Structure 1
């Protein structure tokens, strides 16, 4: 039996990107929420809540991006020229917030600058990721295996909307993470923000979902043609179910349920994108088989992935297990 290596690799990269979104999403969200918590003590606790795991979360971004270059080189060669500006903006945002983690604890006079670097870098990275997603969903023109669009094709009303949606969604993940990891007044304010962000996130998901089918005939057929139209019923119902669990968890002061429900919203949103895309990796031009490297290369790389991915999962799970529970306000990253 022939093994469909491009399909397997598409699944691995899709998993890596999803892992990055749900893991790095909440620590970007903590940065996005920084302006809503002006007290230094609260900000210290917020940074300490993500300090043990934030850099490990970005491993998945490296795996997704590196895997795309190695496994789907044609997709990499067409996506990057189309999205250089938002991708560079994302990297700049991640650099600023990463440096802020170190410098904020080492200075007092310039601490406010690193607070803004952490918050601004988080917002910029999140917004740029949303812009990138929107530009990819709306389609990248390809002719003769090369990008044929312009420098500003990525900047459209739809991509701006997806950028805003990702910022609000990450803020929701950050707020529910703080609910799970902190005590007292900080957790109470995080609950209030999580409630607002939950409605904002679902509203943004609804706008993007209603907009998407009209960007490409492929999406319209996928969401309203039979039998795939059944997903148009199932996915919104599951989203409403997650929203109910999220709101009820916040109102009953449950620690972990809001965070898990918020993750569920992101998984469903990601699944909706996958339903729209498949089997295209660069819609509407390149399928995963069009863009894949030779099978010999895919086999060689898969052997390494079968070793490395379980190791990454193991040390990621171990890190979260070691640092489980509420944050001690008197201990931290100093």
Structure 2
């Protein structure tokens, strides 16, 4: 196939990796967010919250495996450089995900008096995983450097990502629950939304100041006029979301899923802004995706494997969400 050139294949795999990361951020983002904001003062609420993510959370993490796998096989030089700089936060991320998995199963097998301890473990694992992801994002933005300013920025980024996951997690609970738990999720979504808005605004102002390439991308016409629509849409969704949350809940549960879809648009806008800021670099200011890509022959083999596997992942994800649509049922373990 003449169009399967090395440059086109590198671009295709970059797009697939980016798509996998975006889907992971949205799908695993909401179930991490549910873990972050798990209501520790009410056991029945905790059971319902965990039941709302129970059928999905394992499958959601598939997209992280997909993204890391694509980075490894399609961009091995970038994978090496990025992982070398992020061994510690990546290890903490994995520890957080392991704690979540262990706590999810053990909370059903221990004595009732110990169940709350494992719920705390689930919450702690969620916080560790989300902060680690945000820290890694901050270090990436700062060019994979560990100077004091970079670590401070990365720590701030960790708090921002945690707030964003809490926002989408509460938006998920608004759609999946009802009654007092839904009202609690609405109030929590407002608070986390304000924190997320402040964090995104701060990062949007800081990032161009510390990265000359990002400053050029967002200020040089004519593309700068087009790119300006992204932050405008993002902040518009925040304003609309806050107005929606002020009116919820409505009779017959109308509009319950609107906060989640608005939050999804915010996530897409933030991700698109990040991609546009660094393209064509896959290692900031050091290595482009074309320089980091595997050989043409290797990419061609991987390409046919990817187009075979990806539809199956999308299919079972779609089936799972269709089968377990509607409000969360009572928690059951089999």
TM-score range, shorter chain: over 0.9
Q: Distance in 2 between matches of 1:37 and 1:320?
A: 27
Per-residue deviation, residues 44-100 of structure 1 (Å, max 9, x unmatched): 111000000000000000000011111100001111110111100000000000111
- Could you say which residue in structure 2 is the equivalent of 1:262? 263
For the structure 1 residues 153 and 56, does the alpha-carbon distance in structure 2 shift closer, same or farther, using more than 3 Å as the test? farther
Q: Distance in 2 between matches of 1:231 and 1:115?
A: 46
- The more displaced of 212-221 and 118-127 is 212-221
Which residues of 2 match residues 318-333 of structure 1 at below 5 A? 318-329=319-330, 331-333=331-333
- Relative to the length of structure 1, the TM-score reads 0.93
- Could you say which residue in structure 2 is the equivalent of 1:294? 295
Structure 1 residue 154: Cα displacement: 9.5
- Could you say which residue in structure 1 is the equivalent of 2:138? 134
The secondary structure found in structure 1 opposite 2:282 is strand
- Could you say which residue in structure 1 is the equivalent of 2:13? 9
Match of 2:184 among 185, 189, 194: 189
The secondary structure found in structure 2 opposite 1:52 is coil
Q: Distance in 2 between matches of 1:38 and 1:311?
A: 40
Q: Distance in 1 between matches of 2:156 and 2:223?
A: 25
- Could you say which residue in structure 2 is the equivalent of 1:88? 91
**Unmatched tracts of structure 1, length 5 or more:** 141-148
For the structure 1 residues 188 and 37, does the alpha-carbon distance in structure 2 shift closer, same or farther, using more than 3 Å as the test? farther
- Could you say which residue in structure 1 is the equivalent of 2:43? 40
Q: Does 1:31 align with 2:35?
A: yes
- Could you say which residue in structure 2 is the equivalent of 1:279? 280
The secondary structure found in structure 1 opposite 2:87 is helix
Q: Distance in 1 between matches of 2:75 and 2:152?
A: 29
Give the CA RMSD over aligned residues.
1.5
User: Does the Cα contact within 8 Å between 1:246 and 1:259 map onto a contact in 2?
Assistant: no
The secondary structure found in structure 1 opposite 2:294 is coil
Q: Distance in 1 between matches of 2:319 and 2:12?
A: 26
Q: Distance in 2 between matches of 1:190 and 1:283?
A: 37
Match of 2:171 among 170, 176, 179: 176
The secondary structure found in structure 2 opposite 1:281 is strand
Q: Does 1:209 align with 2:197?
A: no
**Unmatched tracts of structure 2, length 5 or more:** 249-254
User: Does the Cα contact within 8 Å between 1:23 and 1:57 map onto a contact in 2?
Assistant: yes
Q: Distance in 2 between matches of 1:231 and 1:128?
A: 32
Aligned length: 323
For the structure 1 residues 89 and 29, does the alpha-carbon distance in structure 2 shift closer, same or farther, using more than 3 Å as the test? same
- The more displaced of 225-234 and 307-316 is 225-234
- The more displaced of 46-55 and 211-220 is 211-220
Q: Distance in 2 between matches of 1:185 and 1:91?
A: 33
- Could you say which residue in structure 2 is the equivalent of 1:102? 105
Per-residue deviation, residues 263-287 of structure 1 (Å, max 9, x unmatched): 1111100011011010000001000
Per-residue deviation, residues 10-51 of structure 1 (Å, max 9, x unmatched): 0000000000000000000000001x4411111011100000
- Could you say which residue in structure 1 is the equivalent of 2:214? 219
Match of 2:127 among 120, 123, 130: 123
Structure 1 residue 110: Cα displacement: 2.3
User: Does the Cα contact within 8 Å between 1:82 and 1:153 map onto a contact in 2?
Assistant: no
Match of 1:49 among 48, 52, 77: 52
For the structure 1 residues 188 and 25, does the alpha-carbon distance in structure 2 shift closer, same or farther, using more than 3 Å as the test? same
Q: Distance in 2 between matches of 1:2 and 1:320?
A: 35
